Amino acid sequence: MKNKTLYLVIRHIHKGNYEDKQAISENVVVTERLKTRDMTEASVVIDILGAKVVKDRFEKASTETFKYYVQQYQHLITKTLVKWGEQAPENMEHLKKTFGEING
């Protein structure tokens, strides 16, 4: 089986003054394939099924970064995992091996 995973891609978008933290919004996407653009523009990229941070623009990639974003976007991740698992039997088997039963 091809090595399958899903990525959580987080882009921080600055609107206006860079020092105004309230002028920052997050654009979050879960995807199967990383594009070159994802790696250059994203602030954080997480391999969800591999349980690791692929890119962290702010600090050294760590388990704390992984935990923070997975917890922050748990609902989106769960919903996407269920959809992805329903697309093909091999996806669902991969999820069961990784997480056991999941329910969206």
Write out pLDDT tens, residues 84-100. Answer: 888 877 877 877 777 67
Cβ contact 46:8 at 8 Å: yes
Count how many domains the chain has: 1
Evaluate whether residue 87 is within a structural domain.
no
Give 56 or 25, the one with higher predicted confidence.
Answer: 56
Dihedral of alpha carbons 44, 24, 68, 92, sign: negative
Of 8, 15, 5, 18, whose CA–CA distance to 76 is shortest? Answer: 8
| pTM beyond 0.95 | no
In a domain, 17, yes or no: yes
Flag whether 68 is in a domain: yes
Q: pLDDT tier at 55 (50, 70, 90 boundaries)?
A: very high
- Give residue for tokens 């091999």: 90
Domain that holds residue 49: 7-74
The answer to whether position 30 is within a domain reads yes
84 falls within a domain: no
Inside any domain, residue 15: yes
